[in-house]
Amino acid sequence: MKYYLIAGEASGDLHGANLIKALKKQDPAATFRFWGGDLMEEAGGTLVKHYRELAFMGFIEVVMNLRTILRNISFCKKDISAFDPDVIIFIDYPGFNLRIAKWAKATRYKTHYYISPQIWAWKEGRIKSIKRDVDAMYVILPFEKDFYEKKHDFPVHFVGHPLIDAIYDRKQVNPSEFRRELGLDDRPIIALLPGSRKQEISKMLSVMLSVVTDFSQYQFVIAGAPSQEASFYQPYIKEQNVHLLLNRTYDLLSVSYAALVTSGTATLETALFKVPQVVCYKGSRISYEIAKRVINLKYISLVNLILDKEVVTELIQTEFNAKRLKAELNAILDDYKRATLFLDYYDLEKKLGGRGASEKTASLIVEKLNT
């Protein structure tokens, strides 16, 4: 069968790659065409557009790049028509994907959605278009099944979280070799995860680095995003105690003692590696003020949302400053706080449903296509 996948971010690239691998096991003759990234390309198939060309962050940024977005939507429709797939698989990225889904459903393509848009956080009205335009939805967060089925009478499949497989299946890193490779000494490592887009990295990294001189007994390593070059990070690195590691976030987290993490999928990844963390977020002032008025959530991190309590501290907007960050980093270096976090992290992993998300999803997709 012919599969067309659309992912617009680094996390979608990871999950899309694992889904492609799982689909190949279910359907050895499968052919793939997709919007995604390097990982999906390595998994096999034809990459149409890289997510680096698609990532626009915040309300203002989207408006400023509206012409490019509309051009991409038009091109995507033409490309799908030329490929004529048996199914289109949307991976998160709702602003773009739901527009394509509306057209695809009207054009009589089969539409499957893997990793639900976070309509439980904002734009809940999108449920109307999802119910109209999506043939099958595969959700990865435990509370999403109740949200869709009990609140909106829309059946979905809870398949578990694909990050669990991605983390457990990775190649293990040797801590001593890792340190030698980066020129690190024996001091504990604090990981800095400033995000993947240039806009958010610029806002996050300088504040994260402001605490370096106060923690000389530790060494800091920046997790460079796969979508960015080393040269982009260099102007921010002014201390000798700071190192940069590109495109190896999982290796870094596996040897880290603590982490400062930009809100997003990375907060969940950090928790699954059992690394104590402070969650950070700062957007443009206008985007933040708009978001405050339309997002109805108690927390911004997936860790706290899934466990429905404040497990990790969230420093948002003006609270994300050098003074608060220093205090909260000190807190997660305390032995008692760390022990409490570890217990909550184990509960989190249980709630996520165990391993096999990609395989479950692939099996359900192929089964539905064959009926």
Looking at residue 69, its pLDDT comes to 77
Residues 177 and 300 in one domain: yes
Residues 104 and 203 in one domain: no
Task: Kindly report the number of other CB atoms within 10 A of residue 48's CB atom.
Answer: 17
Is the pLDDT assigned to residue 255 strictly greater than 90?
A: yes
Residues 360 and 319 in one domain: no
Largest separation between any pair of C-alpha atoms in the chain: 62
What is the average pLDDT across 237-256? 93
168/162 Cα distance (integer angstroms): 10
Please indicate whether residue 238 or residue 360 has the higher confidence score (pLDDT).
Answer: 360
Is the pLDDT assigned to residue 109 strictly greater than 70?
A: yes
Residues 49 and 67 in one domain: yes
Residues 26 and 138 in one domain: yes
Is the pLDDT assigned to residue 9 strictly greater than 90?
A: no
Looking at residue 2, its pLDDT comes to 98
Residues 159, 48, 93, 221, CA torsion sign: positive
Residues 191 and 136 in one domain: no
Q: pLDDT tens digit string along 272-322?
A: 999 999 999 987 666 555 555 556 678 989 999 999 999 999 999 999 999
Query: Quick one: pLDDT band at residue 197, thresholds 50, 70, 90?
Result: confident
Q: Which residue carries 């999950």 as its tokens?
A: 15
Stated length of the chain: 371
What is the average pLDDT across 43-61? 76
65's CB contacts (< 8 A; 6+ apart) are 56
Residues 195 and 155 in one domain: no
Is the pLDDT assigned to residue 219 strictly greater than 80?
A: yes
Of the candidates 316, 302, 298, 296, the one whose C-alpha atom is nearest the C-alpha of residue 119 is 296
Is the pLDDT assigned to residue 53 strictly greater than 60?
A: yes
21/8 Cα distance (integer angstroms): 19
Residues 210 and 179 in one domain: yes
Q: Strand pairing partners for 138?
A: 114, 157
Return the minimum-mean-pLDDT range out of 75-89, 277-291, 353-367.
Answer: 277-291
Is the pLDDT assigned to residue 257 strictly greater than 90?
A: yes
- Give the H/E segment covering residue 107: none
66's CB contacts (< 8 A; 6+ apart) are none
Looking at residue 288, its pLDDT comes to 56
50/54 Cα distance (integer angstroms): 7
% of the chain surpassing 70 pLDDT = 93
Q: Which residue carries 């869709």 as its tokens?
A: 148
What is the average pLDDT across 4-10? 93
Residues 54 and 173 in one domain: no
- Which whole-number Å values give the CA distances from 177 to 162, 242, 255, in the listed order? 28, 18, 11
105/349 Cα distance (integer angstroms): 35
Q: What is the mean pLDDT of the chain?
A: 92
Looking at residue 65, its pLDDT comes to 61
Is the pLDDT assigned to residue 131 strictly greater than 90?
A: yes
Q: Strand pairing partners for 256?
A: none
Looking at residue 274, its pLDDT comes to 97
Is the pLDDT assigned to residue 269 strictly greater than 60?
A: yes
Looking at residue 66, its pLDDT comes to 67
pTM above the 0.85 mark? no
Residues 116, 354, 245, 341, CA torsion sign: positive
CATH of residue 115: 3.40.50.2000
What is the average pLDDT across 216-242? 91
Total domain count, the chain = 2
What is the average pLDDT across 230-234? 94
Is the pLDDT assigned to residue 59 strictly greater than 70?
A: no
What is the average pLDDT across 266-275? 96
Q: pLDDT tens digit string along 323-357?
A: 999 999 999 999 999 999 999 999 999 999 889 99
Looking at residue 238, its pLDDT comes to 82
Q: Which domain holds residue 207?
A: 168-351
Residues 172 and 320 in one domain: yes
Pair of tokens at residue 89: 């698989």
CB 191 within 8 A of CB 211: no
Looking at residue 282, its pLDDT comes to 87
- Say if strands 189-193 and 313-316 run parallel, antiparallel, or are unpaired: unpaired
* Highest mean pLDDT: which range of 1-10, 195-204, 282-291: 1-10
Q: Which residue carries 């509306």 as its tokens?
A: 102
Residues 174 and 321 in one domain: yes
Residues 153 and 206 in one domain: no
173-212 burial, b at 16+ Cβ within 10 Å, e below that, comes to beeeebbeebebeeeebbbbbbbbbebbbebbbebbbebb
Q: pLDDT tens digit string along 132-191?
A: 999 999 999 999 999 999 999 999 999 999 999 989 888 899 999 999 999 999 999 999
CB 34 within 8 A of CB 40: yes
CB 138 within 8 A of CB 22: no
